[in-house]
Structure 1
Amino acid sequence: MSPVPPGLDPEKLRAHLDRVRPGLVSGPVDARLIEGGRSNLTYAVTDGTDSWVVRRPPLGHVLATAHDMKREFRVISALHPTSVPVPEPLLFCADESVLGAPFYVMEHVAGTPYRTAEQLAPLGPARTRAAILSLVDTLVDLHAVDPEAVGLGDFGRPEGFLDRQLRRWAKQLAASRGRALAGIDELQAALGRALPDSPEPTVIHGDFRLDNVLIGEGDRINAVLDWEMSTLGDPLTDLGLLVMYSARLEVTGSPISTTAGAAGHPEPAELVERYAARSGRDTGGLAWYTAFAWFKLAVILEGIHYRYTLGRTVGPGFDRIGTLVPVFIEHGLTTLQEG
């Protein structure tokens, strides 16, 4: 048996599952924390025969309601019958006496989350290309889902979505500014002046990239994971973020997962062309969305750097993050100017 992971008591989980889903579990439960999560915690759970995945909020994070977990459970429940590959949701629990917070259980899906070009290298150019193009096709499938038809018509507030997003990240920047950052105010102002008119809203993932999906046999996507930022909004924000993650940074020590240097990885322009051809959406104004993605990641990195300067980060590599922020700002400005 593995050591009891923080945030999940296997015996309490087993007792709850026996009450609400009798017969699901057939033996003692073993659980381990799956590393790599950014916000909510993910655990692999097994009874020695079958396996499941449990998601719960971070430790010490007090929710007034079960909104966050319930929201994730709701979106994968709505999408599971569609062509979008998501794990089958099994149960949601709002009773905080079980694990100390709301949580949900879903099926365990086999597959690999590729996070770096080095991890993709054994696949070779042809298989890498197929995997990345499959990522684009899955995004098209997600954006083709009719929110009303799957019960997600009230899943967000698409009116004024881009303006709220820009103001949200500007506020986040203001809360974590401990130094001068050349170009960041210019980038924020330029994005504000050039706010595009959004197309028809869709369900968006909010953090759609290769290491948030599981690639299985045949280099197909078995499951899209990490729906904590999903909402109804502008679908091109998902595409802009994917394009940003597909750019070559040409820097060392980046904490941002990038597979762009892998042999066979399609260029960003091809990803955009494929999305446009398959979705029928106009992607002519995508430069704004990609520049916004650079801005958003610059703000996130600056927040990490700010916490590092206050001594609030633990682990190696944080000392280099501050030097990366200007790189992201420059990419954002260049993208807007060239777009």
Structure 2
Amino acid sequence: MTIRDEATVVRSGEELDLERLSAYLRKTISGMDGEIRVHQFPSGFSNLTYLLKSGDREMVLRRPPFGKKAKTAHDMGREYRILSSLRPIFPLCPEPLCFCEDPAIMGCDFYVMERIPGIILRKELPQGLSLSPEQARRLCENLVTVHADLHSLDIQAAGLENFGKPEGYVRRQVEGWSKRFRDARTPDVPDFETIMEWLARKQPEDTKKPGIIHNDFKFDNVVLDPRDPTRIIGVLDWEMATIGDPLMDLGASMAYWINETDSENLKLTRLMPTTLPGMMSREEVVAKYAEKTGRNVKGFDFYYAFGLFRLAVIAQQIYYRFYHGQTQDPRFGFLVYAVGFFEEACRDIVARNP
């Protein structure tokens, strides 16, 4: 038995051309002499993630999903360049190894990075792992610390000045995600028009302290030390990282953070073990973040509401593929309900902040 995050068999329809891939990797990455074996990590709704093994060496390959994709999403080259720039000053990033944009290899861009072996938390703790209330709280504190550290990085030192435009960031996010929802809407989900109007009207001014933001910072995108599961040893999935308002990043994270006191519908969207005894509440996480960063979190309801709306859009974009028969993954069918649950939660926030 292992509590490490493990890959399994590749899902039907998501296989890789191992002969072409192996030939490319042997030419590109040094030390790739043995047979290459491929498995797939089963979780995640966005980019596809595979485990490559060559002898004792373990690497991770990421590629876009099959089917309809948002025009600006799944930019493998951008993610690879962000990792390459961040790795020297933020060593929790995995080490990138190669990027391929030759469609003859896989029919899409992809990149390969070293694997950071460890524990990844999902909805429930992996079998064989338990956390005391004290450990759960310490893990939450460490998660907030890593997030705050990321937001405090020197953008110029990372060479990432051109990876985002902090001016007008919130406005572009509200407008962009609203358009994405309208483009991907199916007739069986709410229209979100009231919520989109509220977000447009309530958006704050540009932050005076922009930072490097991850945009998907949550438990299943961090790697924990198997010897001390409260210690974070890696941060994964940088596909949406940019330069922007760190409170928007925190709001996106809190959209995933389910409290024990949340509505029963919202609890059905829980993907992280945030209701374990000892885990901080959303409110405690935000307060701890404010303490560590000195940022003003007054009016955080806007950021949390936007995070919920953004999550609804992501779910709807994935459900769109299921609705139109572009994927058969049965997990995606539930997302029609999740979109409705996020809409309910957004309406509750709007009602509190008319």
Is the structural similarity TM-score above 0.5?
yes
Partner of 1:109: helix, strand, or coil? coil
**1:265 Cα deviation after fit:** 0.7
| Structure 2: distance between partners of 1:337 and 1:275 | 26
**1:240 Cα deviation after fit:** 0.9
| Structure 1: distance between partners of 2:73 and 2:351 | 43
Partner of 1:130: helix, strand, or coil? helix
Counterpart in the other structure of 2:4: none
Gaps of 5+ in 2: 1-7
Counterpart in the other structure of 2:304: 290
| Structure 1: distance between partners of 2:25 and 2:325 | 41
Q: 2:152 aligns with which of 136, 144, 165?
A: 144
Q: 2:172 aligns with which of 164, 168, 179?
A: 164
**1:86 Cα deviation after fit:** 1.0
Gaps of 5+ in 1: none
| Structure 2: distance between partners of 1:65 and 1:319 | 24
Counterpart in the other structure of 1:193: 201
Tell me: CA distance 1:321–1:65, structure 2 relative to 1, closer, same or farther (3 Å): closer
Q: 1:40 aligns with which of 44, 47, 72?
A: 47
Asked whether 1:328 is paired with 2:339, we answer no
The letter of the residue matching 2:26 is: D
Tell me: CA distance 1:290–1:66, structure 2 relative to 1, closer, same or farther (3 Å): closer
Counterpart in the other structure of 1:69: 76
**1:332 Cα deviation after fit:** 1.9
Tell me: CA distance 1:211–1:333, structure 2 relative to 1, closer, same or farther (3 Å): same
TM-score (norm 2): 0.83
Mean Cα displacement is larger for which, 112-121 or 169-178? Answer: 112-121
**1:21 Cα deviation after fit:** 3.2
**1:129 Cα deviation after fit:** 1.8
Partner of 2:298: helix, strand, or coil? coil
**1:95 Cα deviation after fit:** 2.6
2:123, 2:270 within 8 Å by CA — same for their partners in 1? no
Q: 2:130 aligns with which of 110, 122, 125?
A: 122
Q: 2:293 aligns with which of 264, 279, 282?
A: 279
Tell me: CA distance 1:295–1:19, structure 2 relative to 1, closer, same or farther (3 Å): closer
State the identity %: 36
Tell me: CA distance 1:91–1:159, structure 2 relative to 1, closer, same or farther (3 Å): same
Q: 1:211 aligns with which of 209, 220, 224?
A: 220
| Structure 2: distance between partners of 1:334 and 1:18 | 54
Mean Cα displacement is larger for which, 128-137 or 54-63? Answer: 54-63
TM-score (norm 1): 0.87
C-alpha distance after superposition, 1:198-253 (max 9, x if no partner):
32221111111111111123221121111111111111111112222223344368
**1:110 Cα deviation after fit:** 1.1
2:255, 2:311 within 8 Å by CA — same for their partners in 1? no
Counterpart in the other structure of 1:16: 24
Counterpart in the other structure of 2:240: 229
Tell me: CA distance 1:119–1:285, structure 2 relative to 1, closer, same or farther (3 Å): farther
| Structure 1: distance between partners of 2:73 and 2:324 | 31
C-alpha distance after superposition, 1:177-218 (max 9, x if no partner):
415738x32222111111101322211111111111111232
| Structure 1: distance between partners of 2:182 and 2:73 | 29
Asked whether 1:241 is paired with 2:252, we answer yes
Partner of 2:223: helix, strand, or coil? strand
Tell me: CA distance 1:91–1:251, structure 2 relative to 1, closer, same or farther (3 Å): same
The letter of the residue matching 2:296 is: D
| Structure 1: distance between partners of 2:331 and 2:25 | 40
1:117, 1:258 within 8 Å by CA — same for their partners in 2? yes
The letter of the residue matching 1:56 is: R
Corresponding residue pairs, total: 336
Tell me: CA distance 1:132–1:156, structure 2 relative to 1, closer, same or farther (3 Å): same
Alignment root-mean-square deviation, CA: 3.1
| Structure 2: distance between partners of 1:236 and 1:62 | 27
1:117, 1:261 within 8 Å by CA — same for their partners in 2? no
Q: How do residues 99-138 of structure 1 correspond to structure 2 at under 5 angstroms?
A: 99-119=106-126, 122-138=130-146
1:254, 1:321 within 8 Å by CA — same for their partners in 2? no
Mean Cα displacement is larger for which, 89-98 or 320-329? Answer: 320-329
Counterpart in the other structure of 2:86: 79
Tell me: CA distance 1:58–1:261, structure 2 relative to 1, closer, same or farther (3 Å): same
| Structure 2: distance between partners of 1:189 and 1:318 | 28
| Structure 2: distance between partners of 1:8 and 1:317 | 21
**1:335 Cα deviation after fit:** 2.8
Tell me: CA distance 1:244–1:46, structure 2 relative to 1, closer, same or farther (3 Å): same
Mean Cα displacement is larger for which, 160-169 or 112-121? Answer: 112-121
Partner of 2:187: helix, strand, or coil? coil
| Structure 2: distance between partners of 1:14 and 1:178 | 44
1:69, 1:103 within 8 Å by CA — same for their partners in 2? yes
1:84, 1:142 within 8 Å by CA — same for their partners in 2? no
Partner of 1:154: helix, strand, or coil? helix
**1:98 Cα deviation after fit:** 2.8
| Structure 2: distance between partners of 1:149 and 1:304 | 36
